[in-house]
Structure 1
Amino acid sequence: MDIAIIGGGAAAVGLLDALATHLPDAPGAVGAAGGIGTLTVFEPSPHLWRGRPYGPDLAAVLVNTPPALMSVRAGDRDHFAAWLGQRDADHVDHLLGQPLVPRALYGEYLVHCAEKAVAALGEQGHPVRVVRERVREVVVRPDARLVLRTDEGREYAADRVALCVGGGTPPDPYGLAGAAGFTADPYPLADSLDAIAASDDVTVLGSGLTAVDVVVALAARGYQGRISLLSRGGVLPYVWQRPTGRRPTHVTVERVAELRDTRGHLALTDLAGLLRAEMAEAGEDFDALAAHLRATRTDDPVERLRQQLAEVGDARIGRRVLQETAHSVGPYAWRLLREPDRAWLRRHLRTAASVVSPMVPVNASVLLRLADSGQLTVSSGVRAVESANGRFRIRDADGERTASALVNAVNAAPQAVPAGARHLVDSLTHAGLATPHPAGGVVPTDPRLHVVGDLAGGGPFLTSSIAGVAAQAARVAGVLGR
C-alpha cells in the first residue's frame, strides 16, 4: 500500500511521527495488501517540514503557546520540551514562567522530528521519499488506483492519500493586491518589513496573533513611526496566564461522552454546566467569568490588555480551563453539538478566538508599552480601505485618515482552502474523493482519502492548534496502519 502525503508542514510531520511510533517493525506486517510500502511527501516550498509559520524569521517572532501544547507527538506533552532541553533557559518568558522560543527554532524541532521519523520508517521497511513539487490534481485510474499529477506534469500512483496542506492564506478583503506599500502576507517578517521605511505610518489590518507578531517585529527592529491595528471589532487576543499544572476533571472527553450517551445529544448548556462544575470545585464564580467574556467586544482593548497582564499569575482557573479544553475536548464536542449551538458559537468567533488563542505575556508587554507611549493605537469599525495617490485611505469608526504602509494580518477563516490548493481540492471533488463542507474545508467521501489539519471539514469553528493537528495525525496513522 503506497501512501502519498500532500504537504510537508506540521501536519505531515505529526503523521510521519505517528506512523513511525506505532507501526510494527516488520515490513509488510500491516495493511491489507502487503502492508505499507513507500510513503511519498509532496512539498514545493523551500522550507520543508516547517510550513508557512515556522520558517527562518526574526528572533522576536515567537511561538505563541507554552511547550506542553506544542508537542507534535499526540499524547506526549513533554516531547517538545525534551527536545528543547537546556536551551529553554535562553527563552524564558519570566511573566509566564515558561520558555517561549522563536518560531524558527520551533521549525528546527519539526525538522528534527520529521527526519527522525523518516529514518525510523526506512529502518522498518517503509521508505519515505520527498518530491519537491506541488500536487495539482488527483484522479482515479481505470484500475482504481489514485494518480497524483504535479505542476511539472509528472504523475505518481498511490493507494492512499493524506491531505496535509495546512491552513488558508491571508484573504485580501479590500482588493489591495499589487498596490504599492501593501504587504499581502507578512511572513516571514524578516523579509516583509524591509519595505517599510522608518518614517512610514503603518496600519496593520487585523488585531489577532498575526497582527501582534507584526507589531512586536516592528518594535524589535527599532521602528519609531506610528502603528495602528485596524479591525472590525478592535479585539486583541487575551494574554496567557501562568500554567498551574491543574488538569480539568469535569470538562473532559469522558464526561462529554457520558452526557451524550445519557441524553442522546449534547447542548452548549451541557458544556457550560461542566465548566460551572469545574469552577465551583475551585471556589470560583462561573457567572463572573461569563460576564467578563461578554464584555470582550465592548471594553477598551488597551485597558483590558493592562488588566490581563496584571493577572498573568492570578490563581483563578476559569480562563485556563477554557484555553486548554477548547483544543483538547472541543474537537470532539463540536461534532456532537446541535447546529443552533454551532451557529451561536460561530457568531462569537472573534471573542472565542481571542480567549482560546491568547498572546504570550512578553508580547503583551511590548504592545502595552507602545500603546502607553502613544506609538500604537487600536482602532475598530473599519468600513473601507482604498489605495489612492501612493497612500491608503482608511475609514473606520473614528473617521477618515491615511497611511503610507499597510500590512495584511487578516487571518484566514478556519477550514479555508489555501490559494495554492484550490485546484487540488476541486480535483478531489470532481473525482468523487471528497465533498466541500458547508462550513468550510473538505470531507472525504472515499476511504482512500484522509485529511489532517485545518482543512478537515466539519471540524471546530476555531483554527486547529498543534495539539489538535497531532491528535488528528495519530488517528489517521491508526487507520493507515491497520
Structure 2
Amino acid sequence: MRIAIVGGGAAAVGLLDALAVGGARMEAGEVTVFEPSAHLWRGRPYGPDLDSVLVNAPPAIMSIRHQDGGHYASWLGPERAAAHLDELLGQPLVPRGLYGEYLADAAEAALAALRRRGWRTRVVAARVVAAARSGGAQVTLRTEDGHHHRADRVVLCIGRGTPQDHYGLDGAAGFVDDPYPLAHTLGRIPAGAHVAVIGSGLTAVDAVVSLAARGHAGRITLVSRSGMLPHVWQRPLGHRPVHLTVGRVEELCREHGGLTLDDLAGLLRAELAETGEDFARFTAELLSAGSEEPVRRLRRQLAAVDDPGIGRRVLQEAAHTVGPYAWRLLPEADRERLRAHFRLATSLASPMVPVNAAVLLRLFEDGQLTMVAGVRKIEAVEGGFRVLGDTGELDADAVVNAVNPPPQALPRAAEPLVTSLLDDGLAALHPAGGLVPADPRLHVVGDLAGGGPFITSSIPGVAAAGARAAVALAASRNG
C-alpha cells in the first residue's frame, strides 16, 4: 500500500507514530509525507521562536502517542524538566520550539521503525496543490512543482488556518497579520509604541508576554469583542474521572437510545458529588466569566492554582477526551446550546499557564496593560490606528492580529488542494465547517476534519485522530 500524508505537522507525527507502534500487522508498503515548510514536523505552532512562547499545557496531555501520557515526559527527561519548571503549576513548561524538537524526534523514530519493518519512507518538500482519482483504485497528487505522485490512500494532515483579518487591515503599515513567529514579527514594532493586540485568547497572551519579555516600554491594549481571558491552569491532582468518561457515555447512549446535553451534565454532577462539590455553585461560577471584571477574575484564578476542587480539571480533561466522541452523538439543538458558549468553552478547555497569567497580572497592575471589550471597528488612520469600542475610542501605533482561527478553518495555502478534492468528489464540505471524506481512499486528521467539536483540536485530540486513521488504514490494507 502506498500512503500519502499531506502535511508534516503534529497530526502527521501522531499518525506516523500510531502506524509504527500499532501497525505491526500491516504488510510493509510505502509512506510519503508532503511538507514544503523548512520546519518539518513542527507545524505552525511549534517552530523556532522566542523562549517566552511556551507550551500551554502540562506534559501529561502533550504526548503525541495516543494513550501514552508518559511518552513526552520521558523524552523531556529530568534535567530539561527541572530547567523549565513552572513553580506555580509544579510542572515543566518548555518553549514551543523545544516541544517542536520532541515532535521531530518522534517522527524520525517512527519512520525508522517503519523502515526496520520493510517500509519505504520519504519526505517530499513540496506543497500538494491538486488530487484526483486515477486509473484503478489510486489517487494522483500533483505538487506545485508539477510532479505527479500516485497513492492508494491519502491522509490530509493539514494544520490550522491563520488569523482572519476581521477589520480589513491587511497591508496597513504597522499591522501584523499573523503574529507567529513572534521572534520575527515583534521585532518590527518600536519599543515605545502603543500596541493594540486583537483578541484575548492564548495567541493574544503569547503576544503580550513576549512583548514584555523583549522589554517593550510602550502601552499594550488587549482589544476584543468578548473581553474574556483564558482560564488559568490548576495544579494536576491525579484525579481520574469515574462518571464523565467515554465508557459511561457509551452506556448512556445504549440505555437511552441517544445522548443529550442533560445526560452529560448529569455525569458531571455525579463526578462532583464524589468529592462533595456543589454542581450549581460550580456552573454559576463558570457562567459568571462573561460578566466578571477580567483583571479581578485573573487575580482570583491565579490565587486558585492550588484549589483542591476538581470541577474545572474534570471539564478540561473531558473537553479533549469525552468531547470529540460525545459531540457526534448530541442532537443539533444541544450542539447549538454549546456553540452559544463558544468563548467560555474555549477559555476553559484551553487555559493559560500560571507563569503567563502572573506576567499579565503584573502588567495590568502596573498600568502598562489594559483591556478594551466590545470592539466594533479598527481602522487605519494617518500615523497609526483607531479602535472603536463600547467605551469610546483609542489610538494605537501598531496592531497585532492575535485572533485565533476558528476550528475547521481552511489554511489559505490549502485552498487549491481542497477545491480539487471537492471537484473530483473525493471530499465534501461539512455543514458546520471542515472537510469530510466522500471516498474511502481519503482520510482527514486534525483540525480540518469536519463534524468534530466546536473547539480547536488539542494534542490529545490530534493523537487520537491519528491512531484512528492508522487503524482504518490497517483495516483497508488487511481487508
Whether the TM-score (by the shorter chain) exceeds 0.5 is: yes
In structure 2, what residue type is equivalent to 1:75?
Q
State yes or no: 1:329 paired with 2:322. Answer: yes
Tell me the CA shift for residue 144 of structure 1.
3.8
Checking the alignment, whether the CA contact within 8 Å between 1:161 and 1:449 is kept in structure 2 is: yes
In structure 1, C-alpha distance between the alignment counterparts of 2:328 and 2:64, rounded to whole Å: 23
Number of the residue aligned with 1:180: 173
Number of the residue aligned with 2:355: 362
Checking the alignment, whether the CA contact within 8 Å between 1:2 and 1:36 is kept in structure 2 is: no
Number of the residue aligned with 1:124: 117
Number of the residue aligned with 1:442: 435
1:38-77 mapped onto 2 (5 Å cutoff): 38-77=30-69
In structure 2, C-alpha distance between the alignment counterparts of 1:140 and 1:242, rounded to whole Å: 50
Give me the TM-score of the superposition, normalised by structure 1. Answer: 0.97
Deviation track 1:375-394 (CA, whole Å, cap 9, x = no partner) reads 00111000101111131111
Task: Give percent identity, aligned residues only.
Answer: 62
Tell me the CA shift for residue 126 of structure 1.
1.0
Number of the residue aligned with 1:467: 460
Tell me the CA shift for residue 145 of structure 1.
1.6
Checking the alignment, whether the CA contact within 8 Å between 1:3 and 1:36 is kept in structure 2 is: no
Structure 2 counterpart of 1:212, from 199, 205, 212: 205
State yes or no: 1:93 paired with 2:86. Answer: yes
In structure 1, what residue type is equivalent to 2:239?
R
In structure 1, C-alpha distance between the alignment counterparts of 2:241 and 2:255, rounded to whole Å: 21
Structure 2 counterpart of 1:387, from 370, 380, 383: 380
SS at match of 2:334: helix
1:19-418 mapped onto 2 (5 Å cutoff): 19-24=19-24, 30=26, 35-86=27-78, 87-418=80-411
In structure 1, C-alpha distance between the alignment counterparts of 2:128 and 2:142, rounded to whole Å: 6
Tell me the CA shift for residue 143 of structure 1.
3.1
Deviation track 1:263-293 (CA, whole Å, cap 9, x = no partner) reads 1111101100000000011000010111111
In structure 1, C-alpha distance between the alignment counterparts of 2:370 and 2:394, rounded to whole Å: 13
In structure 1, C-alpha distance between the alignment counterparts of 2:207 and 2:271, rounded to whole Å: 36
In structure 2, what residue type is equivalent to 1:21?
V
Give me the TM-score of the superposition, normalised by structure 2. Answer: 0.98
Tell me the CA shift for residue 36 of structure 1.
4.4
In structure 1, C-alpha distance between the alignment counterparts of 2:317 and 2:112, rounded to whole Å: 33
In structure 2, what residue type is equivalent to 1:9?
G
Structure 1 range deviating more: 383-392 or 361-370:
383-392
In structure 2, what residue type is equivalent to 1:436?
L
In structure 2, what residue type is equivalent to 1:321?
V
In structure 1, C-alpha distance between the alignment counterparts of 2:360 and 2:137, rounded to whole Å: 56
Number of the residue aligned with 2:14: 14
In structure 2, C-alpha distance between the alignment counterparts of 1:235 and 1:256, rounded to whole Å: 31
Residues matched between the structures, number? 474
In structure 2, C-alpha distance between the alignment counterparts of 1:273 and 1:402, rounded to whole Å: 48
Tell me the CA shift for residue 5 of structure 1.
0.1
SS at match of 1:336: coil
In structure 2, what residue type is equivalent to 1:425?
V
In structure 1, C-alpha distance between the alignment counterparts of 2:200 and 2:177, rounded to whole Å: 15
Deviation track 1:391-433 (CA, whole Å, cap 9, x = no partner) reads 1111011101111100000011111111111111111111111
In structure 2, C-alpha distance between the alignment counterparts of 1:375 and 1:444, rounded to whole Å: 49
In structure 1, what residue type is equivalent to 2:371?
V
Checking the alignment, whether the CA contact within 8 Å between 2:28 and 2:117 is kept in structure 1 is: no
State yes or no: 1:2 paired with 2:5. Answer: no
Checking the alignment, whether the CA contact within 8 Å between 2:319 and 2:349 is kept in structure 1 is: yes
In structure 2, what residue type is equivalent to 1:166?
G
SS at match of 1:378: strand
In structure 2, what residue type is equivalent to 1:325?
A
SS at match of 1:320: helix
Tell me the CA shift for residue 23 of structure 1.
2.1
In structure 2, C-alpha distance between the alignment counterparts of 1:37 and 1:476, rounded to whole Å: 16
SS at match of 1:121: helix
Tell me the CA shift for residue 167 of structure 1.
1.0
In structure 1, what residue type is equivalent to 2:148?
E
In structure 2, what residue type is equivalent to 1:214?
A
Tell me the CA shift for residue 132 of structure 1.
0.5
In structure 2, C-alpha distance between the alignment counterparts of 1:151 and 1:171, rounded to whole Å: 25
Alignment gaps of 5+ in structure 2: none
In structure 2, what residue type is equivalent to 1:5?
I
SS at match of 1:39: strand
Q: Which runs of 4+ in 1 moved over 3 A?
A: none
Alignment gaps of 5+ in structure 1: none
In structure 1, C-alpha distance between the alignment counterparts of 2:108 and 2:173, rounded to whole Å: 41
Checking the alignment, whether the CA contact within 8 Å between 1:36 and 1:481 is kept in structure 2 is: no
SS at match of 1:435: strand
Checking the alignment, whether the CA contact within 8 Å between 1:66 and 1:98 is kept in structure 2 is: yes
Tell me the CA shift for residue 128 of structure 1.
1.2
In structure 1, what residue type is equivalent to 2:249?
V
In structure 2, C-alpha distance between the alignment counterparts of 1:56 and 1:184, rounded to whole Å: 19
In structure 2, C-alpha distance between the alignment counterparts of 1:179 and 1:150, rounded to whole Å: 33
In structure 1, C-alpha distance between the alignment counterparts of 2:41 and 2:317, rounded to whole Å: 26
Structure 1 range deviating more: 140-149 or 281-290:
140-149
Checking the alignment, whether the CA contact within 8 Å between 2:224 and 2:373 is kept in structure 1 is: yes
In structure 2, what residue type is equivalent to 1:249?
V
In structure 2, what residue type is equivalent to 1:39?
V
